[in-house]
Every structure is written in structure tokens, then in C-alpha cells.
Structure 1
């Protein structure tokens, strides 16, 4: 399948590892010029062929600096992937243990970063009849499965995608959402990350915890999703091959979500 993305320009947030890095690599393979943004720039991102930009995407100033740099370097934006999410504030705790500061931090990174980046990119996206993909989570559909603030922020992000698609679709801009389930990223695999914290709360050894994740989440395929699989879906949705898909939320979770 030819996606015809060569010579397009793209901005990818949360690009240093996991889904973001896989998306950068997939776009580069298609000939796209990419600006990849993250708070910490990894050697893998630097080696990807993208222009790597270090910014704090949880702040308005950080997003503004990113988009100014991207517009200057690229001359305009055809594609935007709002992937940054989770963050240090996401802890495996319940509602009563989630204070206002945590709510604000989680929403700043998981929702408002996308609001701010999209607002800045929209004039160029409208001019170029571009495309946006927001990376949400199945937590938006299964809020009991994860931290309450994170689940609420991801549900809001999915709703934002619907609203943007409706408002700017007549001007040629498509907006879609991708909602992954458990993906093989540092979120789960880092012993000091969210997965490690969940394992510790459960009194489980981390490696054993990872092995039983497919069964614990009821994943029909029996395995967790790879970052490159999510990236392939994102890149397809960005392309004109998916030219009449907009306002949709695409779940990629190995069959975790069982509801209609």
C-alpha cells in the first residue's frame, strides 16, 4: 500500500521512546520530515533522522516553543501526532489519594498539551488540508482499569478529537484518535515506571507481573501490543489513504475491550 506521504512534514510529541519513537521512525521511512519533541532526548530519537527538540510539553511555554521551532524548520505542518502522555504524576492510586496538583499535572500533559499544539498547528493544517492523530488509551473506555485522573484526561482527549473533527472537517482537516491497550513500552517495562509501581503495590516480582499481563487484562490475542503496531495505525490514519476517516476512535488492544 502506497501512503504517498513523501515530502510531508510532521510534528510528533512524546517522541523519545515507545509509541512516539516508533511513529517517528515509521514516518521517516515514508519520507516525511519530522520534528520529534520530548522532555528528554534519547539517543534513539537523535538517530532517527528527525529534528529532536527538548521541551516540557506540560507547559504552555514548552508547547509554544516547540511549535514555533517546528513551523520555522519545516515551513508548515501537514501532520500532527499528539502522543505525549502518562508522565511522572500517574500513580496506581485511587480517587481519594489523587490531589489537585496531580489532577492539574495529568491534565496539563495528557490533554492541554494536545489542545495547545493543535491550536498552534491549525492555521498550517487548514492551509495544507492536514491530519491530526491524538493518542488516547483504552482507559478512556475502561476508567476502572487505571488511575482516575489519567483515565479522565484520556476520555477528554478522545472527546476533543471528535469536536475538532466536526469543526475543522469542512476546512479539510481530519482528526482521529488511537486508543492503545497495554503496549510494550517503558511505562510497563521500566521497574521504576508505572508498571513497576503496580507490581510493587500487588506484592509481585516485576518480571512475573509482566508475563501475566495478557491474562490479567483479558487480552484475546494472548500478547501485548508492540509500539510499531500502534505506529503503523497512526501513520495510516495520517495518510490520504484514510482520507474519509475522521472523528473516529480506533482501539488497538488485542481484544481487551469486550463491549460494543
Structure 2
């Protein structure tokens, strides 16, 4: 299926690895031109180098960073059609999960909201005028199933993502009549650096359960989360959904939350 993305201009945050890398690669394969944003590049992102890709090194904890990204998209490619707010999860230097409400302090909460909500607010604020100049566009915010099924860990993260869902719904109502669609994609546990990096979720849960990290990712975590598929989500599976939402083929989809979670959520 032709997603009609050829020549369209996209910004993808958190583009150097994991879901962001998969999203960037998928949009490039569909003919889009991409401004890939991350604090630093990666060999995998460098391997995608070409005339349709520009990497911009930014820290989204910097309030001015989103505006610079939109400016670069306009300078390099003449406008902006797609914004994928993928960067999120643990802020720089933070490891999750954190267990219990009393664990995160005020600074932890501020950092979590800065990275997972306020950076998105600023990016959308910067992107909308550029999209309106092109007659519309598509914004895809990467949320989490945790926003819809919170538990007794990562309170700050789940609250920030719940706020992101609410933001998305409101934006879709306000700017839909002007041609800008806004949706969320809610992954479940995805096999990304959040899990695989040293000191990440796999190591933390391995310490809590007495198992090894590979067993956590392959068996224990899917069983703990009662994943219907029996495995963590592959980043490409999320990227494919993002590309469809970015596409004009999804012209009547706005204000939606598409779940890619291996069957984690069980409610209607």
C-alpha cells in the first residue's frame, strides 16, 4: 500500500535508537524527508544518511530545542508535514522502573513531566504554524499503555503520559478543522534500550526477581504483564503504526489512541 508520504517532511524525536530509529527508517523508506532529533547520533542512524535525512543534536530538556527543530525542517526541506513526538520514558540519567509512590521526589516528578509532557507541548506549539502554512499535517504522540492502566510503580511517568493523552484529544478537536490530525500511539513493553541497556529495566527487574536479564526480557516480563503474544513488542511494529497515522491514508483518524502492546490491555 502506498502511504503517500513521498516528499513529505517529518520531524522524529528520540530518533537515534529504538522506536525512534525504526520510525525514522520507515518514513525514509516511504519517501519522506526526515529531521531526526536526538542528543547524539548512533551508528544505526548514521547508516541511514542521505539527502532525505538531517540529524539535529538537541536535548529536549532545553525549552528552546523544539523550536530549533522546526526551524531546521523549514530551512532544509521547506516546511513541515509530520511531527512524531517519540522521545520519552526515563529522562537522561534516570532508570526505570521505580517502585512505590514515595520513591520519586519533587525533582523526579519535574524531570519526568519536562521530558514526557512539556517537551511535547513545546514541539507542538512550534510545529503548528509551520503545518498550517502547508494546509495541515499529522502529529503522532508516543504515549504508553501505562497511561490507561497505571499501577504501583512509575507514578510520575504514567501521570505524564496520561496528561499527554488528554493534550492529544484537545489538540485534535481544536486543529482538526484546520487540517491537522493529532493521535497517540500507545506501546506496551517494547524491546528498546529502556529494557536492554545496562542498568535498564531488565537489570532492575532481574535484581528484584533474582533472575538473569535475558530471562526477564524473554519470559518473566511477558508473564508478569500477561502479554497475549508472550513477548515484548518489536520497535518496527510500533513504527509501522506511526507511519500509517502520519499518512494521508489515515485522513479520518484523529483524536485516536492506537495500541501496540502485545495484548497487555484487556479491557474494552
* TM-score of the superposed pair, with normalisation by structure 1: 0.96
Q: Point out where structure 2 has 5 or more consecutive residues left out of the alignment.
A: none
User: Which residue of the partner structure matches residue 94 of structure 2?
Assistant: 89
Given the superposition, is the C-alpha separation of residues 228 and 190 from structure 1 closer, same or farther in structure 2, using an over 3 Å criterion? same
Equivalent residues of 2:222, 2:232 under 8 A apart: yes
User: What is the aligned length?
Assistant: 260
Q: 1:198 and 2:205 equivalent?
A: yes
Counterparts of 1:130 and 1:119 in 2: how far apart (Å)? 13
Which of the residues 229, 243, 251 maps onto 2:251? 243
Q: Point out where structure 1 has 5 or more consecutive residues left out of the alignment.
A: none
Q: How does 1:11-160 map to 2 (within 5 A)?
A: 11-49=11-49, 50-87=53-90, 88-91=93-96, 92-128=98-134, 129-144=136-151, 146-160=153-167
Q: Over aligned residues, Cα RMSD in angstroms?
A: 1.3
Equivalent residues of 1:90, 1:147 under 8 A apart: no
Equivalent residues of 1:23, 1:231 under 8 A apart: yes
Counterparts of 2:170 and 2:153 in 1: how far apart (Å)? 25
Equivalent residues of 1:36, 1:52 under 8 A apart: yes
Cα distance, 1:90 vs structure 2: 4.7
* TM-score of the superposed pair, with normalisation by structure 2: 0.93
Equivalent residues of 1:22, 1:231 under 8 A apart: yes
Given the superposition, is the C-alpha separation of residues 145 and 74 from structure 1 closer, same or farther in structure 2, using an over 3 Å criterion? farther
Cα distance, 1:196 vs structure 2: 1.8
Cα distance, 1:68 vs structure 2: 2.2
1:88-114 CA deviation, whole Å, 9 max, x = no partner?
A: 335323211111111111111111111
Q: 1:182 and 2:182 equivalent?
A: no
Q: How does 1:203-218 map to 2 (within 5 A)?
A: 203-212=210-219, 213-218=221-226
